Amino acid sequence: MAGLKQEIHFARAADGVRIAYAATGAGYPLVRAAHWLGHLDYDWQTPVWRPWIEALSARYRLVRYDGRGCGLSDRPVDDFGLERLVSDLEAVVDAEGLERFALLGMSQGGAVSIAYAARHPGRVSHLVLCGAFARGALRRDPSPEQAEATAAMIKLVEVGWGQQNPAFLQLFTSQFFPGATLAQMRSFNEIQRQAAPPQAAARIVDAFARIDASSHLAAVKAPTLVFHSRDDQRAPFEEGRYIAAAIAGARFEPLDSANHLPLEGEPAFARCVEMVAGFLPGRAANGQFDHLTRRELEVLELIARGLDNAQIAARLGLAEKTVRNNVVAVFDKIAVENRGQAIVKARNAGLGA
């Protein structure tokens, strides 16, 4: 995506840890919760994450951040529990000034997103989960052999992560992306090595194995779309089904892929991007509604979908009078006289999909 630029800023979490975040693109705000071992600068350059960033930034205002202890965020850090991870997400969306937004949870970012959406129903308009798990490997009733394998994996990270020999990193990469090209594998190896030192990486892996957001699932009220690869080796396919079944009204979409998250070049990647675009509020073509506030754009999106003021109020958790005021402001800003004209103009611009 030519001309795509990111500006990196810092938010301060409740315990004082500084969290690095960046925003790209324009349109309806979409926040991607931190997952695995990320690095804003290296993610930007890799053939693993760059296609995701470009595809989402082409339609949305995409906000990403490095998890605590990783990338450009503060390290070293000792506490990687769910409460702290949710606090980091809270700090980022507050620093970015987001009142209401869509939330994307990939991998263990799913647990954080589930907990946040349950606690802040008025702020999360839509929830998308891809390769997500609510329960870490040690919280899914593991067999003794599975628990032993997880402990061995953590020890491998601790002793082998910082070595120049890529064999240790490749072990993780092969689990995450068995269908990756050589270039994609090498780039993911490098991201993991750059994202966190061995001791921190081991603590993060251990914390993610013990994370558990299952108690929050029933409290999620946002419309939810759950994707999961059929042959995912990092988060079992059954965990995706478990999440979708526990969130009222959630839509479940199996992916024909062995990769933990779809990669550019496989059909599952294009399918994910297309279905997310159909699920989330759209972006107006040519930026013709960029002068609207985020709230006004959201109201216009729902008008384009045919909702009346009462339905919009219920969907957004607002008073109907507030919605009426927003509708009046929208009509004035886009130069229409009535709802019918607004619907036509919005749909012609790509809203209301």
Domain end position, chosen among 221, 252, 279 = 279
User: Regarding predicted confidence, which is higher, 288 or 199?
Assistant: 199
Which residue intervals of 105-197 are DSSP H helices? 109-119, 144-160, 167-176, 182-195
Domain of residue 124, residue span: 7-279
Per DSSP, helices labelled H in the chain are 40-43, 50-57, 82-95, 109-119, 144-160, 167-176, 182-195, 198-210, 237-246, 267-279, 294-304, 309-316, 320-333, 339-348
171-180, 254-263, 275-284, 335-344: the lowest-pLDDT one:
275-284
What digits encode the pLDDT tens for the residues 204-234? 889 999 999 999 999 999 999 999 999 999 8
User: Is 13 a member of any domain?
Assistant: yes
Q: Is 83 inside a domain boundary?
A: yes
Query: Quick one: pLDDT at residue 226?
Result: 98
Token code pair at residue 129: 């989960």
What is residue 90's predicted lDDT score, i.e. its pLDDT?
98
Do 269 and 304 lie in one domain? The reply is no
Number of domains in the chain: 2
Give the CATH number for residue 307: 1.10.10.10
Assess if residue 1 is contained within a domain: no
Mean pLDDT of the 165-183 span: 85
Residues 240 and 335 in one domain: no
Which of 255, 279, 303 terminates a domain? The answer is 279
How far is the C-alpha of 76 from the C-alpha of 45, rounded, in Å?
Answer: 24
Tell me, what's the pLDDT at 105? 97
More confident residue, 157 or 233: 233
Please answer whether residues 36 and 108 qualify as being in contact, where contact means their C-beta atoms are separated by less than 8 angstroms.
Answer: yes
Looking at the domain assignment, is residue 36 inside a domain? yes
- Which pLDDT band, with edges at 50, 70 and 90, does 352 fall under? low
**3-class SS of residue 10:** strand
What's the gap between Cα 272 and its chain centre?
13
- Domain for residue 82, yes or no? yes
Among candidate residues 232, 253, 279, the one where a domain is terminated: 279
pLDDT band at 62; cut points 50, 70, 90: very high
Query: Tell me, what's the pLDDT at 353?
Result: 53
Based on the fold, state whether residues 274 and 291 are members of the same structural domain: no
pLDDT of 292 reads: 82
pTM for the whole thing? 0.81
What is the per-residue pLDDT across 5-32, written as a single tens digit (0 to 9) for each? 888 999 999 999 999 999 988 778 899 9
Q: Say yes or no: 27 and 132 in one domain.
A: yes
**More confident of the two residues 274 and 351:** 274
CATH number at residue 146: 3.40.50.1820
Distance CA 87, CA 14 (A): 6
Q: What is the mean pLDDT of residues 26-55?
A: 90
Is 59 found in the same domain as 19? yes
Mean pLDDT calculated for residue range 125-148: 92
Across the range 339-347, mean pLDDT stands at 90
